[in-house]
Structure 1
Amino acid sequence: MALALSLSTAAAVGAGGALTPSTASAAASPDVVQQGLNALVRTDGVPAALATVRDGRGRTREYTAGVGDLATRAAVPADGQVRIGSNTKTFTAVVVLQLVGEGKIDLDASVDTYLPGLVRGEGIDGHGITVRQLLQHTSGLPDYEGLLDEASLRQRYFEPRELLDMTLGGKPVFAPGEKFGYSSTNYVLAGLIVQRVTGRPLAEEIDRRIVRRIGLRHTYFPAAGDRTIREAHPKGYRKDSADGPLTDFTEMDPSAGWAAGQMISTNADLNRFFTELLTPGRLLPEAQLAQMRTTVPIGDSGAGSGLGILSRPLTCGGVYWGHGGDIPGYETRGGVTEDGRAVNITVTTIPTDYAVTERLEGVVDAALCR
């Protein structure tokens, strides 16, 4: 199940490409973005691509390419709602860091401090894993995603503890703190810590502390059993193999993602979220934001993993901050720069060829660099 951000996406790839504006006001070179989206549809075969680009002065432009429904050929709704997969991790990390700022969680305390006795397995012990290591993917815990049957996810509901139990029968991938190793298991535990500390559901805390606080009007955490997408949206599609047919996977139970990948949003809301997040005092106090932006290297890609946020190099110099996410039906990439430029792009299938994802990331790079 492709809920997680593929690790190799951490390197920004400079690919060309571009698409068709649906609103006025210049944010990036419209040719570059529109042509890039058009190429993803026409050459790479994604059903639809949609993007929202904002320049450093707050001027926004939306783009679409392809069709929103392969059966009816309906248009792609500009800034339609999509499943955002692992971008959810950043929302979860923000809540944890807010609780750190309130003195309710200690980043360097063990997982066992908050979830006593829960994390046990062959070579796995919650006493030796810290909250910081969960958020930074340096815990060494195995990833439950590889144990899921993606095709069955449309109907299956998972409790968070079920997701955790899948991994505790395996061995750690490496010793805690040794290096970076992406694992959605980390964020299931982070979500459980939030619930233990606050005494409230994670979804409620995300809504109260983030969504309503900064006015994300099209962002929500689907309730248990909700397999739909509430507002106008392009349909999402899935392939079993590179040469297999595209299957409508829009309606599905997203509970396998939970704190690591369950949320729904729009490109514009994601731009707003990441922009507000990087502004000290808006979502996080300066001290916690500095902790979030302290990174460890992701291999030799030039990218870094902070606490629920990733930095990636730009071909024009500097970096951008964001996350990205895959979940059956949708793949999202994007982020924001220090000077307030922002872009998020979604395609309505997870490409089976990683070169397509690299070209998608190239459009992100081109939009931010121009």
Structure 2
Amino acid sequence: MAALVAAAAVAGVALQGAGAAVAAGPGARGDAGYGRAVLEQDVAAVRKAGGKVKVLAQVRRGGESVRARAGAGTKVPWNARFRVASTTKTFTAAVVLQLVDEGKLSLDDSVEKWLPGVVSGNGNDGSRITVRDLLRQTSGLFDYVEDPELIRAVTEEFDENRYDATPAREWVRVAMRHEPVFTPRPDAPRWAYSNTNYLLAGMIAEKADGRTWREQVEQRVIAPLGLHETSVTGTDPFLRGPHARVLLPGPDGGTLDVTEHTLQHTADSAVVSTTRDLNAFYRALMSGKLLPERQLAEMKRTVERTDDPDDVAAWPEGGYGLGVRETPLSCGGSYWHHEGDGFGTYTRTGVTPDGRRSVAVSVTSDGQAPDQVKLNAATRTLVDHALCGRGK
């Protein structure tokens, strides 16, 4: 949803300074060189980079936890629920890989096999796209959120469309109105980020299993891991439980409250969670509690990002696996994560390959959309400090 968020912001709004104190959570210490003080500084830096936003971060290191938050006015609840947006893609990829492990589908299956005729027209060909292509963003399919009519609907007429419940299949049809960015080549994969891929992945998971994508996320991931603060919204517009209000500039120059909406209700964006639960999810994923070794290895097999300069600008280093990114650490090695950019909500995560260390960050617009290049740089620094165990 990054394109929609960027379009929703009024051009020319200047970034504002941090202007607010940082509050640290109770309790825990970090290891040598890292602890509450470093996280407080990094959260303040994220707040400054983001401008008029609220920030909440939680770091898990072994059995210890450190939290910090920043923002003007009413504080973000420590257990705030937020829409994780595209971080949902890791949940969807985990579900699909479980189905692969159960023999219900193959990563080499074509989209055409599972969804006959759905990907066709204007140069689109589902027989040349595999399930693996969908999960690793190598299909070349047009990203439906970039459709000009859709952008206009959510930027100029948000209130009229905030309760939209268009099913995934209809959004795929929107993508099919456009030519693909490229045609997949198994011998030389090309890469371009497209939310359309995960709509199709969710639809295939439903065909392969018989349960809805939402039911599978709930029964295969949320319930087994005890993620009591995580849910799949479906067409419920409300954030259930503690949360921050999400405020963006409106088209008339005023402030638009976008907290309640149903626009993120599909397999690319529909999960709501907390920093605690996201840490638990990524730690469980990397420690083998959700996927067997073979499927986790498939998830972590990355490709180079080749045809999406905006994505490379946002994430200048690292490759893309099956629903996860890999980014190098300053202390050596790398970490795994997936960002989420929704309507005024920005999720950043990170976990070490062994699952022992993790971090989750939630940034909420409080009147303006942040410069995401600056925001990403600040959050990458926060994640690097948290996972490397050292400060500035």
After TM superposition, is the score higher than 0.5? yes
Q: Distance in 1 between matches of 2:255 and 2:43?
A: 19
Structure 2 residue matching 1:328: 3-state secondary structure: coil
Q: Is the CA contact 1:234–1:348 (under 8 Å) kept in the aligned structure 2?
A: yes
Give 1:364 shift: 1.9
Q: Is the CA contact 2:49–2:374 (under 8 Å) kept in the aligned structure 1?
A: no
Q: Is the CA contact 2:83–2:272 (under 8 Å) kept in the aligned structure 1?
A: yes
Runs (5+) with no aligned partner, structure 2: 7-20, 307-311
Alignment of 1:45-124 (within 5 A): 45-55=51-61, 57-67=62-72, 73-124=73-124
Q: Is the CA contact 1:19–1:37 (under 8 Å) kept in the aligned structure 2?
A: yes
Q: Distance in 1 between matches of 2:110 and 2:195?
A: 18
Q: How many residues align?
A: 349
| Residue 228 (1) aligns with residue 238 (2) | yes
Relative to structure 2, which stretch is displaced further, 306-315 or 97-106? 306-315
Q: Is the CA contact 2:77–2:242 (under 8 Å) kept in the aligned structure 1?
A: yes
Match of 2:13 in 1: none
Match of 1:334 in 2: 349
Give 1:3 shift: 7.4
Q: Which amino acid aligns with 1:292?
A: M
Partner deviation per Cα, 1:323-358 (whole Å, 9 max, x = no partner): 010100210111101241100111102414522332
Alignment of 1:57-206 (within 5 A): 57-67=62-72, 73-147=73-147, 148-149=150-151, 150-151=154-155, 152=158, 153-177=161-185, 178-206=189-217
Q: Is the CA contact 2:111–2:131 (under 8 Å) kept in the aligned structure 1?
A: yes
* Residues 197, 205 of structure 1: alpha-carbon distance in 2 compared, 3 angstrom cutoff: same
* Residues 271, 154 of structure 1: alpha-carbon distance in 2 compared, 3 angstrom cutoff: same
Q: Which amino acid aligns with 2:139?
A: S
Q: Is the CA contact 1:227–1:253 (under 8 Å) kept in the aligned structure 2?
A: yes
Identical aligned pairs, as a percentage? 40
Q: Distance in 2 between matches of 1:238 and 1:93?
A: 30
Q: Distance in 2 between matches of 1:25 and 1:144?
A: 44
Q: Distance in 2 between matches of 1:309 and 1:141?
A: 19
Q: Is the CA contact 1:20–1:64 (under 8 Å) kept in the aligned structure 2?
A: yes
Q: Which amino acid aligns with 2:238?
A: T
Q: Is the CA contact 2:39–2:67 (under 8 Å) kept in the aligned structure 1?
A: no
Give 1:258 shift: 0.8
Match of 1:21 in 2: 24
Structure 1 residue matching 2:57: 3-state secondary structure: strand
| Residue 312 (1) aligns with residue 327 (2) | yes
Match of 2:283 in 1: 275
Give 1:65 shift: 0.9
Q: 2:269 aligns with which of 240, 244, 261?
A: 261
Q: Is the CA contact 1:4–1:184 (under 8 Å) kept in the aligned structure 2?
A: no
Runs (5+) with no aligned partner, structure 1: 7-17, 68-72
Q: Distance in 1 between matches of 2:343 and 2:211?
A: 28
Q: Is the CA contact 1:19–1:33 (under 8 Å) kept in the aligned structure 2?
A: no
| Residue 251 (1) aligns with residue 260 (2) | yes
Query: Normalised by the size of structure 1, how large is the TM-score?
Result: 0.88
Q: Distance in 1 between matches of 2:162 and 2:232?
A: 17
Q: Is the CA contact 2:49–2:375 (under 8 Å) kept in the aligned structure 1?
A: no
* Residues 19, 35 of structure 1: alpha-carbon distance in 2 compared, 3 angstrom cutoff: farther
Partner deviation per Cα, 1:180-207 (whole Å, 9 max, x = no partner): 1110000000000011111211101100
Match of 1:10 in 2: none
Q: Which amino acid aligns with 2:380?
A: E
* Residues 298, 20 of structure 1: alpha-carbon distance in 2 compared, 3 angstrom cutoff: farther
Give 1:237 shift: 2.2
Structure 1 residue matching 2:225: 3-state secondary structure: coil
Q: 1:296 aligns with which of 290, 303, 322?
A: 303
Query: Normalised by the size of structure 2, how large is the TM-score?
Result: 0.84
Structure 2 residue matching 1:51: 3-state secondary structure: strand
